[in-house]
């Protein structure tokens, strides 16, 4: 199966019940046969999402630990890129699409690799469509 780029809004649906839906669970199922690419910021976003969920008592510390173990069994490629050209392009794209730099990292990775983008973020989805990026359908 063709790889795809995935953002943290999808990942959140795998551990936080209120953010889970058919789409997020469908993406998780597809990871059994496809690989997801994520920018390195995804690691920090996942950690922050888990921390916030623990503080809000949406999940327990044990559930966070179990979630990290589950992630280790999935097929991800973490793409590290932080050179000067990347930083300038990220800033320009963020301004153009009116996105956070974090969300722009996912959009740029999808554009750069020519892969569809899996997201539950409506603003990012809209920007992706405007940029000609296919939205991943599980």
Q: Is residue 137 part of a domain?
A: no
**Does residue 124 surpass a pLDDT of 90?**
yes
Q: Is residue 136 part of a domain?
A: no
Q: Are strands 36-39 and 76-79 parallel, antiparallel or unpaired?
A: parallel
Q: Is residue 84 part of a domain?
A: yes
d(CA 102, CA 84): 16
Task: Tell me the pLDDT of the chain averaged across its residues.
Answer: 91
The beta-strand segments (E) located in the chain are 4-6, 36-39, 76-79, 117-118
Beta bridge partners of 2: none
Contact, 13 vs 24, CB < 8 A? yes
Q: Is residue 119 part of a domain?
A: yes
Range of the domain at 123: 4-130
Question: What local confidence, expressed as pLDDT, does residue 84 receive?
Answer: 65
- Model confidence pLDDT, tens digit, residues 18-31: 899 999 999 999 99
d(CA 77, CA 64): 21
Domains contained in the chain, number: 1
- The CATH number covering residue 76 comes to 3.40.50.1010
Question: What local confidence, expressed as pLDDT, does residue 98 receive?
Answer: 84
- Model confidence pLDDT, tens digit, residues 50-97: 999 999 999 999 999 999 899 988 989 999 876 666 677 766 677 787
Whole-model pTM: value is 0.89
């Amino acid at each position: 199966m063709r790889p795809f780029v995935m953002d943290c809004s999808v990942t959140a649906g795998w551990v936080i019940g209120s953010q889970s839906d058919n789409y997020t669970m469908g993406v998780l199922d597809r990871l059994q046969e496809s690989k997801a690419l994520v920018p390195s910021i995804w690691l920090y976003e996942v950690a922050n999402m888990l921390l916030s969920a623990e503080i809000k008592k949406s999940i327990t510390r044990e559930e966070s630990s179990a979630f990290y173990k589950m992630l280790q069994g999935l097929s991800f490629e973490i793409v590290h890129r932080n050179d000067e050209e990347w930083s300038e392009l990220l800033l320009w794209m963020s301004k153009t699409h009116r996105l956070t730099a974090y969300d722009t990292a996912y959009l740029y990775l999808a554009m750069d690799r020519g892969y569809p983008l899996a997201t539950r973020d409506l603003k990012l989805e809209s920007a992706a469509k405007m940029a000609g990026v296919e939205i991943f359908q599980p």
